[in-house]
Amino acid sequence: MRPTLGARARTRENEGMVDLDALRSRWTRALEGVRGDRGGADPLPYAENLLGRWQEPQRHYHTLTHLTAVLDHVDVLEAYADDPDVVRLAAWFHDAVYLPDRSENEERSARLAERALAEAGVGEAKIADVARLVRLTVGHDPAGDDRDGQVLCDADLAILAASPSAYAVYTAAVREEYHFVPSDAFRSGRAEVLRQLLALPRLFHTPYGAAEWEATARYNMESELEMLSPPAGPAT
């Protein structure tokens, strides 16, 4: 089923409430924090490029609203990270390249991060850290000692623990991004993604995420999966 016009309008309305100047400031602080700040290229042109990417027309969930939410959640989880500013840069890049019909978005986003951060004056080790974190969002399966990876993955998946109304807006936006997929195929594919996530021993890896988000996220996904499942036929 396609999302209603009301759901799409609410998504766009929320997008219009994003504070672009605040995002530019957050980018600048993170970049300068990672650089040291030893100097380098002006941060603002890079911010403008990324902001433009996050506003591309094919996006309905992977938008500036999502970017802002991930950055906000990184702030909540900052104490669990080894290098919070590296995590913040990875958040900026993790969906910077996004085409719903392509499977290599994370890899292309990581390569964009490698090129842009080198040009901006970030050291090689930090660039490698950012790119590794971006690639980690393919499977959201950080190692037990990967504190930065745990923070980014938890921040990216925090939408799963949203309120019922916010979760409904999220699922409608995801459906809109895949508008080109027939309804039956979308329901089947989405249900499989949910089953894979629910089969994981844990969705969230930081102590905060495990305590505050895990149960709600599983409830939301189980409820969505139930709605996606075809009704049982009559007993024979």
DSSP 100: T
DSSP 102: -
At the topology level, CATH places domain 5-228 in Hypothetical protein af1432 (1.10.3210)
Residue position matching structure tokens 């709600």: 216
pLDDT of residue 6: 38
Over the stretch 198-227, which tens digit does the pLDDT of each residue have?
999 999 999 999 999 999 999 999 999 999
Look at residue 5 and tell me whether its pLDDT is greater than 80: no
The SS3 of residue 52 is helix
Over the stretch 90-138, which tens digit does the pLDDT of each residue have?
999 999 999 999 989 999 999 999 999 999 999 999 999 999 999 999 9
Distance CA 177, CA 11 (A): 12
pLDDT tier for residue 15 given thresholds of 50, 70 and 90: low
Q: Which amino acid is at 204?
A: F
Question: Model's pTM, two decimal places?
Answer: 0.90
Q: Are 137 and 153 in contact (CB under 8 A)?
A: yes
Over the stretch 144-156, which tens digit does the pLDDT of each residue have?
999 999 999 999 9
CB neighbour class for 88 (10 Å; exposed up to 12, middle 13-18, buried from 19): buried
Residue 142: name the closest of 82, 71, 191, 100 by CA. Answer: 82
Distance CA 236, CA 229 (A): 20
Distance CA 142, CA 150 (A): 6
Residue position matching structure tokens 């979308």: 186
List, in sequence order, every beta strand (DSSP E) within the chain.
Answer: none
